[in-house]
Chain A
């Protein structure tokens, strides 16, 4: 039996709002989309589905890069600094640089 790929994943599960074949919940994706901008009023049904795949690819890419850093440090546990480094060293992820820097900064003890 063929391993379920992207296409057959859709066929077996349909496009209902269930997490089903999609690894990420479509309703939540839609919610996040709506919060992104006041201009976003209507979203087609397929947009969250496209995002579900796009986010999966993004997570995989960042994770792979983070893991390389983890291994270089002779460790087996990916820590958040590895994720941050993966983001900072990749041009496409420039838009995330502030986010991961903020995360890193918030770890430091806040000034009284």
Chain B
């Protein structure tokens, strides 16, 4: 029976997502959550199979995010597909910027990451006006 659980997403997580969009006085039976767990697993399998078929036809070995988005769209989850693509592109953008950040310097990493977390992007196109507060004394943003 424990094996069964491996094929399902945790009921607590599923329940939490369900509760999130319901009014406060709404309740969810345990069986309803269990049914939802099974639906989600079936959904993952369904979409993955489609995405995997596409990869196979294109002689690719790795199923990536774009394939999943394509499969979502192909199987009628159009609205989701658009949202997913945006999500994916933003995620990739984040990854790319993170990689660039890491390359730039590791000493000033903390400051940049903090401002990055606030959704602000460090402006490296114009020379920084150094506020006296700068900690690392770094001048990598100052092009010479």
A24, B22: Cα distance in complex, Å:
18
> Which A residues lie within 8 Å of B27 (CB)?
76-78
Chain A at the B interface: SS class: helix
| Contact between chains at A91 and B63 (CB < 8 Å) | no
Does any Cβ of A come within 8 Å of B25's Cβ? yes
| Contact between chains at B39 and A12 (CB < 8 Å) | no
A15, B34: Cα distance in complex, Å:
27
A96, B7: Cα distance in complex, Å:
16
A59, B121: Cα distance in complex, Å:
33
Which among B18, B48, B61 is the interface contact of A59 at CB below 8 angstroms? B18
Contact A6 B90, CB 8 Å, known A58-B80, A78-B32: yes
Q: How many A-B residue pairs have CB under 8 A?
A: 191
Does any Cβ of A come within 8 Å of B41's Cβ? yes
| Contact between chains at A99 and B42 (CB < 8 Å) | yes
| Contact between chains at B32 and A23 (CB < 8 Å) | no
Q: Which of B89-125 contact A (CB under 8 A)?
A: 90-92, 94-95, 116-117, 119
Minimum CB distance partner of A53 in chain B: B87
| Contact between chains at B14 and A67 (CB < 8 Å) | no
| Contact between chains at B64 and A36 (CB < 8 Å) | no
Distance of B90 from chain A, by nearest CB (Å)? 5
> Which B residues lie within 8 Å of A33 (CB)?
44-45, 48, 63
Contact A19 B48, CB 8 Å, known A47-B67, A100-B35: no
A7, B120: Cα distance in complex, Å:
12
Interface string of A10-35 (1 = CB under 8 A from B): 11100100010001110011011101
Which among B8, B39, B69 is the interface contact of A96 at CB below 8 angstroms? B39
| Contact between chains at A32 and B68 (CB < 8 Å) | no
Which among A6, A36, A44, A100 is the interface contact of B48 at CB below 8 angstroms? A36
> Which A residues lie within 8 Å of B39 (CB)?
58, 62, 83, 87, 93, 96, 99-100
Does any Cβ of A come within 8 Å of B130's Cβ? no
Q: Which residues of B contact A (CB under 8 A)?
A: 6-10, 13-14, 16-18, 20-22, 25-29, 31-32, 34-36, 38-49, 51-53, 55-56, 61-65, 67-69, 72, 75-77, 80, 83-84, 87-88, 90-92, 94-95, 116-117, 119
9 contacts between A and B (CB under 8 A): A7-B90, A11-B116, A33-B63, A47-B51, A51-B68, A59-B14, A63-B18, A64-B21, A99-B42
Q: Please name the 5 residue pairs, one residue from A and one from B, whose CB atoms are nearest each other, closest first.
A: A36-B45, A46-B65, A44-B64, A80-B31, A77-B27
